[in-house]
Amino acid sequence: MSITYLVTVSGPDRVGVGGELFAALSLLTVDGCLRDVGQITIRGTLVLCAEVTVSAGVSAEDLHAALATRDIVRDGMSANVSPVVATEATTGRLLLVTLLAPTVSTAQLHGVFAAFASVGATCERIVHLASYPVDCYELVVRGEDHVALREAVTTAVQGSGLDVAMQRAGLHRRAKHLVVMDADSTLLQDEVIDLLAEEANCGDEVAHITELAMAGELDFAQSLRQRVALLTGLDEAVLGRVRDRIRLSPGARTLLRTLHRLGYVPAVVSGGFVEILAPLLKELNVELLEANHLEIVDGRLTGRVTGPIVDRAGKARALERFAERVGVPLEQTVAVGDGANDIDMLSAAGLGIAFNAKPVVREHADAALSVPYLDTVLYFLGISREEIEAE
């Protein structure tokens, strides 16, 4: 027979507390085991918990006496020993809930935790992943019904200003080795076709066609052909001027640099144009690109595209090809995009992230970001600001 206790020491942190605790526990757990341990220090205040299983003859008083032999309870440090009783709160599967906002407030957290309680779920751990450029917390939540839990949290954060991602807990999250991004209004702040239209003095006409496509009156392929036709006769030298005007999204370089350093493979799939994107991505050390090709004859744009058009379905197919090339299953891929053209790609990926997207796109994504910083994608992968800023 055996019994399990939770031993908690808390108070002002000092050097050696962990060693003192485990030395004390070793006096009584020769025939038992350390089942779990957790520690957190906030502003110099320590909370250290150890779950230990000992023989049935060992009482809470015996554990307290062992702690006293190591002189742990001093200088404001306190200790508590309590038997562990299995309850509903300790059953169920784990779900990772990542919360992100410019500043996460207590009122926002109250709404989320009320959602947990409404479906009988409990939060086991909270990690503050970042405070810059946004606040980000990662919560490990235990619950029996993950569908109900997701629905409750999604409802709770609506209109609250919180972005949220919910994923099954486990090492598989860090195994998402391929990160595929849209270009226009995701990796880039700009829409390349609009910049080309300005050079061709047809910005209003291109904008009107874009509106028709967004309203569902034209599909992407139709709208692309009509917009490119308005560029007929444009000198190819314009492409260089447009590349010089392109602005990366805030955090884009940080995102790519961190992905490379941590062994992830970045890729870009775009409804834009290879002629614009390829030189830029070479500079950014991104080797995987799929986009449309402008036809150029005698140094001028013909107003046509060549080859298959990279549309909504084409983006999803590109994701699959890249995953096969990198050698990872789709479950280990991440897709990031903002438009309806990205929906199939977001749905196919292991983790689909809508980046400053319209509601219809957010509905098809696993997670959504409404902040302008592209490097916040890293937080949904469990990568902390400290890891991002590491040399």
Full strand arrangement of the beta sheet holding 135-143: 122-130, 135-143, 93-101, 163-168, 367-369, 351-355, 333-337, 178-181, 265-273, 288-297, 300-306
How far apart (Å, rounded) are the C-alpha atoms in residues 249 and 239?
Answer: 20
Query: How many other CB atoms are there within 10 angstroms of residue 86's CB atom?
Result: 8
C-beta pairs of 121-126 under 8 Å, 24+ apart in sequence = 121/92, 121/95, 121/149, 122/89, 124/94, 125/38
The answer to whether 335 and 270 are in contact (CB under 8 A) is: no
The answer to whether 205 and 248 are in contact (CB under 8 A) is: no
How far apart (Å, rounded) are the C-alpha atoms in residues 129 and 58?
Answer: 39
Whole-Å CA distances, 88 to 112, 116, 242: 20, 14, 60
Angle, helix 220-229 to helix 192-199, in steps of 10 degrees: 20
User: Residue with structure tokens 């508590």?
Assistant: 80
User: Residue with structure tokens 């560029």?
Assistant: 231
Cite the active site residues: 182, 184
